[in-house]
């Protein structure tokens, strides 16, 4: 299937790029008129009603791309509205975007948030026809704690990425992707996040080995996983080794991965201005052409 030169450039990029070279990677088009649904009940669990919001183009026919957005907040704060500008931007670009709430710590530690994210993907897939979405073209973009959840959605399970809670492409902005490494080597600031998420006590590196592995996307990588894009700032409080080690693990498994290292201290959605256009291009590339699930040969 024919692919534009800019698309090929994105797909085969092997190393980090700087913000100076990270401009829009798709031709500019007229923004689509969009619709909006404020509160869609997608799950009731443990007495909690969980909602998502949707932004969608009002034109474009069937088989559209869908992307689940997952907010950050150290698994304990914020809500789906943090991703609203990203959802609207995606819809103007012809993508159906859903931003979902999930259960938060301390009341709901791991794996509750992950189970909610999986339920959100299943809901989108089950209701794809209502939005003109292809059930095979569902991706995810998460920021910070949401980036960890996006990584889990990408790597948990095996086999086809068009069923259940599997996704066909994933983007992680400042994601915590190797919690074991953070527990052993990371600053106390990051360890505190992990302690709260896993409910492990102060010596998380000794008491929580099973949870550390279960909550680490890097521990679940296998050749059936979808392509990923990883964004991290060079001097933020999530070490760049979280992104670089995940990049290596994916590429070692034969999975296409695009690594974007942004100069400075920006974290997660702080880098929206630099990362959003390349992220949309990445998602559109792989979700439009599901056969391009691995690094193309040159």
d(CA 207, CA 228): 30
pLDDT in tens, 133-162: 999 999 999 999 999 999 999 999 999 999
Please indicate, yes or no, if residue 34 is contained in any of the structural domains.
yes
Angle subtended at Cα 177 by Cα 172 and Cα 178, rounded to the nearest 5 degrees: 170
Q: What is the mean pLDDT of the chain?
A: 87
Residue 121 lies in a domain: yes
Q: For residue 10, what pLDDT is reported?
A: 37
List the domain range (segments joined by +) for residue 36: 18-288
**Does residue 296 lie within any of the structural domains?**
no
Q: Please, which residues have CB within 8 angstroms of residue 83's CB and are 6 or more apart in sequence?
A: 69, 70, 71, 99, 143, 146, 269
Domain presence at residue 2 = no
Is 294 within the bounds of a domain?
no
The span from the CA of 153 to the CA of 165, in Å, is 7
- Asked whether residue 13 is domain-assigned, the answer is no
pLDDT confidence bin for 23, thresholds 50/70/90: very low
Domain count, the chain: 1
In a domain, 6, yes or no: no
Query: Domain of 274: which CATH number?
Result: 3.40.50.1820
Question: Is residue 98 assigned to a domain?
Answer: yes
Higher pLDDT, 56 or 192: 56
Is the pLDDT at 29 greater than 90, yes or no? no
Percent of the chain with pLDDT strictly greater than 70: 84
Only one residue has tokens 């949870």, namely 211
Phi, psi (deg, nearest 5) at residue 254: 85, 15
């Amino acid at each position: 299937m024919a692919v534009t030169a800019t698309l090929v450039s994105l797909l085969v990029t092997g190393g980090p790029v700087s913000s100076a070279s990270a401009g829009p990677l798709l031709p500019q088009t007229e923004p689509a008129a969009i619709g909006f649904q404020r509160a869609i009940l997608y799950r009731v669990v443990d007495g909690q009603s969980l909602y998502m919001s949707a932004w969608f183009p009002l034109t474009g026919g069937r088989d559209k791309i869908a992307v689940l957005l997952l907010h950050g907040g150290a698994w304990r704060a914020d809500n789906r509205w943090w991703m609203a500008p990203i959802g609207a931007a995606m819809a103007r670009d012809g993508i159906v975007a859903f931003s979902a709430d999930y259960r938060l710590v301390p009341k709901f530690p791991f794996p509750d948030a992950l189970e909610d994210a999986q339920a959100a993907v299943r809901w989108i897939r089950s209701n794809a026809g209502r939005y003109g979405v292809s059930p095979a073209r569902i991706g995810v973009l998460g920021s910070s704690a949401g980036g960890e959840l996006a990584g889990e959605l990408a790597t948990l399970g095996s086999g086809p990425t068009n069923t259940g809670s599997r996704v066909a492409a994933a983007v992680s902005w400042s994601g915590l992707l190797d919690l074991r490494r953070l527990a052993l080597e990371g600053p106390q600031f990051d360890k505190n996040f992990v302690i709260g998420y896993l409910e492990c006590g102060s010596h998380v590196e000794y008491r929580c080995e099973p949870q550390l592995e279960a909550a680490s996307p890097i521990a679940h990588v296998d050749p059936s996983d979808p392509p990923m894009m990883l964004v991290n700032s060079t001097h933020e409080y999530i070490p760049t080794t979280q992104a670089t080690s995940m990049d290596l693990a994916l590429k070692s498994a034969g999975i296409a991965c695009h690594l974007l290292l942004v100069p400075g201290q920006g974290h997660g959605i702080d880098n929206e201005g630099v990362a959003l256009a390349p992220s949309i291009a990445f998602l559109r590339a792989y979700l439009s052409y599901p056969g391009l699930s691995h690094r193309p040969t040159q």
